[in-house]
Chains A and B, each alone.
Chain A
Amino acid sequence: MMQTVRTHLISIKVNGEDYHLELLPWISLLDVLREKIHLTGTKKGCDHGQCGACTVIAEGKRILSCLTLGVMKDGSSITTIEGIADGENLHPLQQAFSDFDAFQCGYCTPGQICSAIGLLSEGKANTREEVQELMSGNLCRCGASKGVIDAIMQVKEGCGNE
């Protein structure tokens, strides 16, 4: 039997700010961020979990916002690319991406950086090969992947996780 569809009131913290939203059940977290909260730094690439452009950090873990429903994140704390710099000071990974030419068109970059933040906090990558393996969910069609790994390795070694 067809169910009665209704909107859901949710509270979500994004980059430290509280938002109270009324959502239909099928709206993805990605669309919530971009269309409801107007944080368009998180990118829509494939919109079905294959490219990593929509990667954000939810409760400290990197996830794909395109494969998450907004209503499932009621009460959650989300960090997007807009929330990682310290005022005018770039996050070390943002600076390293710039230093190492880790992008060309830049479309995948927000997802790459959020994914790299997750990678470093997980602490499971000890070698360059392991960094490559654990960043494989973020595709770069421009071919800047070498620069991406170089940038992450520099920050990783700089923060003493080797």
Chain B
Amino acid sequence: MNNFSYIKAENTDQAISELDGDIRNKIIAGGTNINDLLRYFITKADKLVDINPFLEHNTVICLDNGGIRLGALCTNADTAYHPIIEERYPLLSKAILAGASAQIRNMATNAGNLMQRTRCYYFYDIHTPCNKRDPGSGCSAISGYNRIHAILGQSENCIAVFPSDMCVALAALDAVINIEGPDGKKVLNFADFHRLPNQTPHIDNNLLHGEVITSIDLPENGFPKNYSYLKLRDRSSYSFALVSVATAFDIENNTITEARIALGGVSHKPWRIREAEEFLIKKEPNSQNFAQAADIILKGARGYEHNAFKIELAKRAIIRNCIMALHPESQRTGAKPSL
């Protein structure tokens, strides 16, 4: 690690003041990713602003509009096991519990989950070119070992994927993100938070320097009757997704009235295509329709030397998870396949 100073901020205003809009001043909360990034010189800091004293942001509360608010500092474990989340937003609970390990979920915060960085091997190897770590240096993954990399939304500058499980569910559930900064408060739709790499892969999301995420809101409908989170990976636990799928349906009289499908492990952000969801409305929930939806979602997918298998894997995962969502009681620990 480089040498940095450290300060505890007692409230949002103090944190914003301490950050001072400077990219070298960074927030630390759970610390599960930034400690790693600092230790291996992938990122450097002049100052760490510890926001853990923000006790008002470490809870889950119900909102007047019927939705709920996840505190930015509520841990992933406390969120996943919260009675409201388990009962009304089980898709979110399952997705969180499919990620990381029990120890890391006890430490990692909800806002930190959004802010975590890719686990691309080359991003973490400071001896190789990486446009995300060192803009303009090149992408080692495109012609390197790219088994875990993107098949959708990538650019010629970066094929890294965003590693979160929780965020795949938040994308499917139409979360919104509450932010405070030097210019006041603002709200971002979840779909507008993370970015595709394009020409600027070093910028993961649209949070500006000096801004702080204070909470994440979910709308009233958490799809508790028909949901499923499927995570496919190289080992059965404590591993990042090769492909993951969050699926949620409202179904009446064997007809889909509302559909959500989001993918993880395939792009620089949680991947959601509204056209596919609209295709399923007023359709019967069956494999044929799910396969057509999968084709819409995966339109334009492109594989590389070691990850082309992900395209077919993603198609099968979408179909399988849509079927699993019809029987959510079959969900198993850690988002393991139930069929």
| Residues of chain A contacted by B237 (CB below 8 angstroms) | 132-133, 136
- Tell me whether A153 is interfacial, beta carbon within 8 Å: no
Select one of B32, B40, B102 contacting A118, CB under 8 A.
B102
Closest to B46 in A: A3
* A3, A4, A132, most chain B CB atoms within 10 A: A3
Q: How far is the CB of A75 from chain B (nearest CB, A)?
A: 10
The segment from B47-55, B142-150, B277-285, B305-313 found at the interface with A is B47-55
Assign chain A's interface to a size class: 35 or more
Contacts A28-B35, A49-B36, A68-B35 given: A134-B46 contact, CB under 8 Å?
Answer: no
Q: A4-B5, A124-B81 are in contact. Are A137 and B104 (CB under 8 A)?
A: yes
For residue B159, give the distance in angstroms from its CB to the closest CB of chain A. Answer: 23
A-B contact count (CB 8 A): 100
Task: Check A122 for interface membership: any CB of B closer than 8 A.
Answer: yes
A130-B333 in contact given A69-B6, A136-B238, A137-B238 (Cβ < 8 Å): yes
* Contact of B38 with A by CB under 8 A: yes
Chain A residues near B1 (CB-CB < 8 A): 26
Q: How far is the CB of B124 from the nearest CB of chain A, in Å? A: 9
Give the interface centre of A25, A118, A129, A135 by most chain B CB atoms within 10 Å. Answer: A25
Q: Is B67 an interface residue, CB under 8 A from the partner? A: no
Q: Mark A113-132, 1 if CB is under 8 A from B, else 0.
A: 00100110010100101101
Question: Which residues in B have their C-beta under 8 angstroms from that of A69?
Answer: 6, 28, 31, 35, 48
The yes or no answer to B101 lying at the interface (CB within 8 A) is yes
B2-45, CB < 8 A from A = 3-6, 22, 28, 31-32, 35-36, 38-40
Set B6, B39, B103: member contacting A62, Cβ < 8 A: B103
Contacts of A47 in B (CB 8 A): 39
B221 at interface, CB cutoff 8 A: no
Map CB proximity to A onto B92-133 as digits: 1 under 8 Å, 0 otherwise.
000000001111101100000000000000000000000000
Partner of B32, one of A3, A49, A129: A49
| Bound complex: CA A66 to CA B33 (Å) | 11
Give chain A interface residues in 78-124, CB to chain B under 8 Å.
Answer: 115, 118-119, 122, 124
A141 sits at the interface (CB 8 A): no
CB of A42 closer than 8 Å to a CB of B = no
> Is B4 a contact partner of A3 (Cβ separation < 8 A)?
yes
Q: Kindly list 20 other residue pairs between chains A and B, CB separation below 8 angstroms, not including A5-B3, A72-B50, A133-B237.
A: A3-B47, A4-B5, A8-B6, A25-B48, A26-B4, A47-B39, A52-B103, A61-B106, A63-B107, A64-B32, A64-B104, A67-B31, A118-B102, A118-B106, A119-B102, A132-B237, A136-B238, A136-B334, A137-B103, A138-B101
Q: List 27 A-B contacts (CB under 8 A).
A: A2-B46, A5-B3, A25-B48, A26-B4, A48-B39, A49-B104, A62-B102, A62-B103, A63-B106, A63-B107, A64-B32, A67-B107, A68-B31, A68-B35, A71-B6, A71-B50, A72-B31, A115-B102, A118-B106, A119-B102, A122-B102, A127-B333, A133-B237, A135-B102, A136-B237, A136-B334, A137-B102
Q: Which residues of B contact A (CB under 8 A)?
A: 1, 3-6, 22, 28, 31-32, 35-36, 38-40, 46-48, 50, 52, 77, 81, 100-104, 106-107, 237-238, 332-334
